[in-house]
Structures are given as structure tokens and as C-alpha cells.
Structure 1
Amino acid sequence: MCSMHRLEVELLKKRASEFLEESKLAVQRGFYDTACFLAEQSLQLYLKAILLKLVGDYPRTHSIRRLLGELGRVLNSEALETFINANRARVLALEDAYLIARYSAKEYEKEDAM
């Protein structure tokens, strides 16, 4: 992996970690919409970091499903495919948080953010 990609991987992972920490704090404060959005951002950035590290690029998308699918294809991992299929509803809900938490009249509850 070239040094440019290595730096980007580390930056994406750092941001993913920060978003996850902020998501946890948002839950503690009762900011569930924000927590869901931040959790989605965390996972999205982490998946992009892993793909960049493994193959040198990642799809330009905000879709968690597409990123997980690409990672499954790259790893040729039956376990990951099983996880995606078993957690499809959760993955969809997390992916929806990208837009809903910002633009919809729906409000997330504590159970949604956990």
C-alpha cells in the first residue's frame, strides 16, 4: 500500500473512531437522532478504510449495504455474507439513519440508538 493510501486509511479509521465515540456520548445525552447518524457515519468510514487498505480503493457511495457487499466480495467471506443476511434489517435501519436523522420528521428512540 502506498504511503498516500496508508495516510488516508489512518485518517478514515481515526474519523470512524471519533464518530463512534460521539455517537456513544449522544446516546448518554439523549440525542438519539444524532447518535444514529453518527453511528452510520462511523461504520461507513470504517468500511471504506478497510476496503482502501485491502484493494487500494472503495466505492464512492454512502450505502452501508454496498460497502459490506464489496468487502464480502473482496474477502470472499461466507461468514460476512451470513452476517449481512442475518442482520439485513439492522443494516437497512442504520443505512436509513444517514438521511432520516437529518431530513425526516421521524425521531429516533433510545432503543433505535442502541
Structure 2
Amino acid sequence: MLNQSAPLDLLFQALSDPSRRIMVEQLSRGPASVSELAKPLSMTLPAVVQHLQVLETSGLVRSEKLGRVRTCTLDTSALQQAETWIQERRSLWETRLDRLGELLAIPEEPASRDPA
């Protein structure tokens, strides 16, 4: 479990920042250069590059440099890992809640009156 935990930790840590989520959202529409990713954000280009490094370390983003332009793309396989992890938890809780619902639906037997 620990081997699977480290990549997920990096993934969720990367997604914890609103600026990085904006970048991921933008990349979900297609590849973008670093300067294109920086446009909607109110931060310096070096700060954007630092955020992109976090996204790359997590496996969410891949980048390629052609000449002076670094183009980033979203790697959806990392998102699939997060989706699988979330689905496993959802399934576990749905099973637990279904069982609780079954237990609550069982009518209680009336308590017998003790004449003592």
C-alpha cells in the first residue's frame, strides 16, 4: 500500500493548489505553452514554472521544449489513478451505507411487557 500511496500523495498535493488546478483545467483543453498557462494567473513566470514542476513531479503534466518554447500536455493516466482510488473508497462506503440501510429497515420486535 505504501508504494501506491507515494504517487497518490504527490498527485493530491499537486491538485491541492488552486493555481495548479487552473493549469490542469487549461491543459484539459489541449497542449499549452508556459506563457499561455501563465496568462490567467497573477504571478510571475518563474512562479508558474515552479508550479509546473510540481505538476510534472506528480505525473499530471509532461513538457517538451522546442526552441525557446516549452509546451505542456496533460497526462490523463495520473488522473485515472486518482479516479480509481476515489472509486474504491466510494464503493466501500456505498456498501457500508447499503448495509446500514438494510439494518435500519428491519422492523424492531415490540418489547414484551414485564408485569413485575
Same fold at TM > 0.5: no
Bigger helix fraction: 1
Q: TM-score, structure 2 length as denominator?
A: 0.26
Bigger strand fraction: 2
| Bigger RCO (CA 8 Å, 6+ sep) | 1
Q: TM-score, structure 1 length as denominator?
A: 0.26
